[in-house]
Chain A
């Protein structure tokens, strides 16, 4: 079974600074998908970024980027120019190759606080 580990339960960062959230996973699959979801106090789960394992290029979405190290099974999220609105729980998630019925496996989350 796949597992996802987020080793940082809580983190804080000053506004406008850069922060990196860590995620490692365990799988025997060679192809898969990785995701970062954001959960603000509103409770809504919001997709931040996704990465296909067969792509070597790291995904980026505006201020959010990932460092995907397939051999090390590591998938960290970097947030640049942190904003107060980035304050949220962040979940790393793994998905096996899509076959129409592929659930996500989540890590336990990292609570990020952006300080003014």
Chain B
């Protein structure tokens, strides 16, 4: 089974609107970390936000928030007030407590429309 699943290959959002990028994960390890990265067309991977499996509250970082639903094993990224510069690929990733490898999803291409 896939460790990380991103079911939206591409998404469009109007500038200044909010958008949710979906991510589900699969693990039997009670300790894990969930991460979101942004990859613009230039290629660099930019760390956006982190959520730990034991965190009680959803993580927030500026315009980014993580909608963590543990029972559903989902960790959706919410971008508020979208900007043109948000157009990029977005990857969800997981690290399990018992290992040091990162598992990446297939990514979602976000396009912000003026």
**Are A and B part of the same complex?**
no
Query: Hey, which bits of chain B sit against chain A, CB under 8 A?
Result: none
Query: Hey, which bits of chain A sit against chain B, CB under 8 A?
Result: none
